[in-house]
A and B are shown apart, each in its own frame.
Chain A
Amino acid sequence: MRVEFADSMIKFADSHPQMVFITGDLGYMALEKVQHKLGDKFINAGVAEQNMVTVGAALAHEGFIPWLYSISPFVTLRPYEQIRNDACLHDLPVKLVGNGGGYGYGIMGATHHNIEDIGALRLLPNMRVYVPFTASDVEQSIEQMLADPHPNYLRLNQGAKIKYDVAPFSQWRKIKSGTKGTVVGTGPVVENICNLDIAADLEIWVVSIFPINNVPVGLIESINATQKLITIEEHSGECGLRETLSYHIMNHLNGPLKMLALSANGYPSGKYGDQKFHQAENNLGGEGLNQQLLSFL
């Protein structure tokens, strides 16, 4: 999604002259064209994310729309108090962009992963978290973020590639119908279920903006019909999709419900590998995911 992100920055720069791009010293072989396009409105703030976020908040106070870019944990968890105090409490349109949400940085190791970002940010006042599903979601999500007057966080990853048609970017999207179980997932990891044979029998939904609200009637109906709910997220289940969705559907259930919550549980073996390795270790992909679904259904 990094390519699509950079292309979108260039595309929207002319129509949104208040855009300022600040990178935390990242962007080699990715942001050079953005730098060229934005000129003096492209700033490398160095490896100093706390200052970067507050500078962004101050720019937003003065009418700019700052895009603050780094590897996901460095632009979210490192400057967390700056995000809360200076961007969110003041409800300023600061746009955080974290590359490699979840296990996206693979073999780079745990310090470069982020399985807490959605939970950490969605609870901050005024913040809205955008989680694109496919690569083509990126431009649409950025367009929506530009129109969103609140602080935002964009979680970038490898875009999902699936055989089903995907509707334009929105908070809730139904990917396909099914009767044996209802899947609700966030981010490209949902692809791992979509591409299994068992997906033929499942109804699959993707949620792409947090915090969630107004769960669609169609999704509630599916959950009540299948009475089997599967959540999948490349994120900790604690404070993640499984928790917030559970709360939002609880008062709409008309019968018993079984739930399988698939989430990122860190590093079960203590070993490292690529993104697929970590997904497999957490039953978010590969045969482990398939077996989990088969035994649950």
Chain B
Amino acid sequence: MEKSVQQDLLNKAFSIKKRFLGMYKAANAGHVGCSLSVAEIITFVRFNWMKDNDEIILSKGHAAASIYSMLAEEGILTEDDIKTFYKNNTYLAAHPPVNKIKRVPFATGSLGHGLSIAAGLGLAQKLKNSDKKVFCITSDGEINEGSTWEAALFIAHHNLKNVVWLVDRNKLQGFGRTEDVMKLDPLDKKLEAFGFNVVMAEGHNFISLEKAKDKTLSSDIPTAIICDTTKGRGWKLYEDKLDSHYLPMKDVHYDEILADVETDYKTQISKL
């Protein structure tokens, strides 16, 4: 990956994170850790992979703020729109809304729907001979849902290579660690057995995500990228803890997170 591309992605990810942290703080809302977990994945897919008419499905709809922030980054939402997040009379609910925002074709939030949406959109492109791609970002917890496995079987059976499945593998779910609640590992072997080209990636590292992209593009079968991530990354107090899923930020936390995210950003920029 060229340094200029990497720098641009770091800039965008930093901007996206700053924006959604401000949204969560203003709303005094939870799900901060969920968006911090997926921020680089979303940034990479939107700004270094998908074309304008491709689709991105955030199946883990509880990280909606990250998508809203991404949409503001590309100008689809305005900063005034962003200020309405969580308020009465807004389209920007805690989970993506129905039929209201460009680049959000489906409301998500009930887990286990997104991969089937991607499967249907992918099948539609195949029937239309379209080269449009569909990127679907799921959590790891929602892989508990049977519908996710139904969709996985379907995608593999129909060889929907136009669907790219990215798993935000932060190993935490609603009320515990994924391996304590209902074991997912070895997730890679399970998805391989279902017929996927499985690629492991560091979900906060653009160079690693770029390598995953290359391995996806060279595959003859659909790809699932298991992105190793950390829930609440940057929120040192609650990093890799369930608390980062639910708790809103106190003032002091907000200041600390912003400082940590900025330090991390500057450190990475300095290494380029």
Contacts and interface: CB of A to CB of B under 8 A. Distances in A.
A197 interface: no
Contact of A40 (B112, B117, B127, B153): B127
A85 B154 contact: no
B150 interface: yes
Contact of B106 (A46, A50, A63, A86): A86
Contact of B121 (A20, A62, A81, A91): A62
A134 interface: no
Contact of A86 (B113, B146, B154): B113
Interface residues of A, number: 27
B209 to A, nearest CB: 25
A226 to B, nearest CB: 45
Contact of A59 (B105, B123, B147, B157): B123
Nearest to A62: B124
Interface of B is mostly: helix
A64 B119 contact: no
Contact count band on B: 20 to 34
A54 B147 contact: yes
Contact of B113 (A46, A64, A82): A82
Given A50-B146, A64-B124, A85-B113, A55 B154 contact: yes
B262 to A, nearest CB: 38
B150 A86 contact: no
B98 A90 contact: yes
A55 B146 contact: no
A91 B100 CA distance: 13
B120 interface: yes
A90 B105 CA distance: 9
25 contacts: A43-B158, A45-B154, A51-B116, A51-B150, A51-B153, A54-B116, A54-B117, A54-B120, A54-B147, A56-B120, A58-B116, A58-B117, A58-B119, A58-B123, A59-B124, A61-B106, A61-B120, A62-B125, A82-B113, A86-B106, A86-B117, A89-B98, A90-B106, A90-B107, A91-B99
Interface of B: 98-99, 105-107, 110, 112-113, 116-121, 123-125, 127-128, 146-147, 150-151, 153-154, 157-158
